[in-house]
Each structure stands twice: as structure tokens, then as C-alpha cells.
């Protein structure tokens, strides 16, 4: 083996190998400390692009799910108000049935009229005052575009109004008059028609609610699938990383020992030179 001062090949090769091992160990420490396998674009250029797209899908699915849940809340509020409208109409119908007889006295009709008037006002109030997210879903034809798909078109949601006039009860509920037996008979028919309209509205809301519930479930699955896939790409495999770190530690220790041996070559050369000098003297 040639011993040279100008070209310490063994020492240089050992140093280069040590640099690679130290870099690998730094990467081991970084991945274990952060819990992320890809800490820079250089760790996996193509993987970074894939993970970014998955992150975008996860964020979009999460936002779309919130939109769907908000729409569900709006539907639930509207449905609750319509349930109260139905209760009021049913009570009015019962009063109209009671007033649709010649045996009812003037005082009986007076009390029924007063109660019907209050219930009519409540139906009107429910239509105009029921609100959520700054919207009044029962005050006229309500329509809203709800973005429930992170990649597609929004879902259009419509709710018909539940005002007195839209329920066919007249602008001020004039068709719910129980002053006479004849008007009470007409009020029964009007209340039945209005309750049927409300029932159709609630059925439509129920269908929309079921659809939104299904959408929320699918968005959960979409977010979960992308999260799991991103995790496989980005997250540190601690078992594999610790095993790799142990291997790199052994390589580092071996490199230190070899470096020490390589550096001793200069000491051997000096001994040879000293020996030659002593012999010549």
C-alpha cells in the first residue's frame, strides 16, 4: 500500500463516507423530532406535490362539510317553525269545528274569535321572524346555493314561504273566520288546505335533510381517505426510522474508527522518515 502525504486518499474517502452518514443521521433526527417524513421538497419532490393536492382536498371537504351542516341547521329551524304552524292551524281547525254549530252562543264565538286571532298572528310571526344565519327561510320563496362539493357545482336549496297569503289563508288570515257557523265551515276547509301545504313543505325539507346528511357522511369519508393517504406519504414510520438511525449510528462509529486509522498513516510516515534519518547518520 502506497503511503502519500500529498494525496491522503483513504482519509478523504473516509471523510466523505462520514459526511454521508452524518447527513443521514441528521435526517433521522429531523424525522423523529417532527414526526414528518418529508420535511423539505428535496426529501421527495413528487410526494410533496401529491401531499399538497391531498391537503387541498381535505381542506375543501372540511369547508364543504361545514356548509352542509349549516344548511342542515337552517332546515331544522325552518321545520321546527312549520311544526308550530301546523299546531296553530290544527287548533284553529278545532275551534272552527266547535263554532260550526247553531248551539254555540255569542260569547262562545267571541272567545273562539279572540283565540283564532292570536293564533293567526303567531302563524304570521313564524313566517316572518324565523331566522338563522341572517336568513328568513319561511318569509317568501327562499333559495340558496350551498357549496357542498369541494370540486363540483353548489347545491341549490329552495323553501317555499309559509306566510298567511302563501298558505291560502288571505293576507291577514281572513279565511279563518269563526264568527258564524257558515264562516266556521269555510275556515275548516281553509285550515285543511293550509295544513296540507305545510305538510308538503315539511316533506320537501325532510328529503333535503336526508340528502344533506348523506353528503356530510360522504365528505367525512373523503376527508378521512385523503388524510390516511397523506399520512402514509408524509408521516414518519417510527419503527423504520429508529432502525435506520441505529444502523447509521453503527456506521458513524465505524467511520470514526477508520478515520483514526487513516490519520495514523502520517505518523507511520514520520517514523519511517525518522528511522531513515537515524540510519543515515
Q: Is the pLDDT of residue 90 over 90?
A: yes
Average pLDDT of span 228-252: 77
Q: Are residues 63 and 158 in the same domain?
A: yes
Phi-psi sector, 134: left (phi>0), alpha (psi -120 to 50), beta = left
Q: Are residues 199 and 230 in the same domain?
A: yes
In-domain check, residue 143: yes
Q: Is the pLDDT of residue 31 over 80?
A: no
Q: Are residues 144 and 226 in the same domain?
A: yes
In-domain check, residue 2: no
Domain with 62 in it: 47-234
CA distance 29 to 6: 37
> In the prediction, which pLDDT does 2 show?
53
Q: Are residues 87 and 163 in the same domain?
A: yes
Q: Are residues 255 and 184 in the same domain?
A: no
Q: Are residues 89 and 210 in the same domain?
A: yes
Report the 10 Å Cβ neighbour count for 148.
25
Q: Are residues 66 and 128 in the same domain?
A: yes
Q: Convert the pLDDT of each residue in 211-238 to its tens digit.
A: 999 999 999 998 899 888 878 777 777 7
In-domain check, residue 165: yes
- What average pLDDT does the structure give for the chain? 84
Q: Are residues 188 and 244 in the same domain?
A: no
In-domain check, residue 105: yes
**Cα angle for residues 55, 58, 62 (degrees, 5° grid):** 140
In-domain check, residue 276: no
Average pLDDT of span 51-60: 86
Q: Are residues 142 and 108 in the same domain?
A: yes
Q: Are residues 175 and 241 in the same domain?
A: no
Q: Is the pLDDT of residue 115 over 90?
A: yes
> In the prediction, which pLDDT does 79 show?
96
Confidence of residue 19 (pLDDT cuts 50, 70, 90): confident
All three cell numbers of 20, joined, read: 454521508
In-domain check, residue 280: no
Measured in whole angstroms, the distance separating CA 189 from the mean position of its chain's CA atoms is: 47
**Cβ density class 45-76: b for 16+ within 10 Å, e for less:** eebbeebeebeebbebbeebbebbbebbebbe
Count up the domains in the chain and report the number.
Answer: 2
> In the prediction, which pLDDT does 220 show?
92
Q: Are residues 218 and 96 in the same domain?
A: yes
Q: Are residues 72 and 174 in the same domain?
A: yes
* Better-scored residue on pLDDT, 109 or 163: 163
Confidence of residue 33 (pLDDT cuts 50, 70, 90): confident
In-domain check, residue 281: no
Q: Residue 88: give its domain's CATH number.
A: 1.20.1330.10
Can you spell out the DSSP letters for the chain?
----SS--HHHHHHHHHHHHHHHHHHHHHHHHHHSBS--SGGG-HHHHHHHHHHHHHHHHHHHHHHHHHHHHHHHHHHHHHHHHHHHHHHHHHHHHHHHSSTT--HHHHHHHHHHHHHHHHHHHHHHHH--BTTB-TTSS-EEEEE---SSSPPEEEEE---STTTTTS-TTSTT---SSHHHHHHHHHHHHHHHHHHHHHHHHHHHHHHHHHHHHHHHHHHHHHHHHHHHHHHB--HHHHHHHHHHHHHHHHHHHHHHHHHHHHHHHHHHHHHHHHHHH-
Instruction: Please tell me the pTM assigned to this model.
Output: 0.73
In-domain check, residue 78: yes
Amino acid at each position: 500500500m502506497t503511503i502519500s502525504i500529498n494525496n491522503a486518499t483513504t482519509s478523504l474517502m473516509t471523510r466523505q463516507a462520514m459526511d454521508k452518514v452524518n447527513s443521514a443521521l441528521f435526517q433521522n433526527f429531523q424525522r423523529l423530532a417532527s414526526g414528518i417524513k418529508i420535511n423539505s421538497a428535496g426529501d421527495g419532490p413528487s410526494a410533496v406535490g401529491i401531499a399538497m393536492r391531498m391537503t387541498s382536498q381535505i381542506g375543501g371537504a372540511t369547508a364543504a362539510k361545514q356548509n352542509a351542516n349549516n344548511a342542515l341547521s337552517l332546515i331544522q329551524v325552518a321545520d321546527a317553525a312549520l311544526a308550530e304552524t301546523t299546531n296553530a292551524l290544527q287548533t284553529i281547525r278545532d275551534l272552527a269545528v266547535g263554532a260550526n254549530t247553531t248551539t254555540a252562543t255569542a260569547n262562545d264565538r267571541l272567545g273562539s274569535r279572540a283565540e283564532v286571532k292570536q293564533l293567526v298572528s303567531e302563524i304570521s310571526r313564524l313566517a316572518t321572524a324565523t331566522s338563522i344565519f341572517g336568513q328568513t327561510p319561511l318569509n317568501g320563496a327562499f333559495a340558496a346555493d350551498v357549496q357542498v362539493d369541494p370540486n363540483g357545482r353548489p347545491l341549490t336549496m329552495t323553501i317555499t314561504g309559509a306566510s298567511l297569503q302563501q298558505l291560502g289563508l288571505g293576507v291577514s288570515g281572513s279565511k279563518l273566520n269563526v264568527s258564524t257557523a257558515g264562516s266556521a265551515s269555510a275556515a275548516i276547509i281553509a285550515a285543511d288546505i293550509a295544513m296540507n301545504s305545510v305538510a308538503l313543505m315539511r316533506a320537501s325539507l325532510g328529503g333535503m335533510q336526508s340528502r344533506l346528511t348523506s353528503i356530510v357522511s360522504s365528505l367525512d369519508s373523503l376527508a378521512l381517505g385523503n388524510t390516511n393517504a397523506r399520512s402514509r406519504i408524509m408521516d414518519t414510520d417510527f419503527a423504520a426510522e429508529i432502525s435506520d438511525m441505529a444502523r447509521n449510528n453503527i456506521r458513524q462509529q465505524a467511520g470514526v474508527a477508520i478515520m483514526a486509522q487513516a490519520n495514523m498513516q502520517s505518523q507511520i510516515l514520520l517514523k519511517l522518515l525518522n528511522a531513515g534519518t537515524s540510519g543515515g547518520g
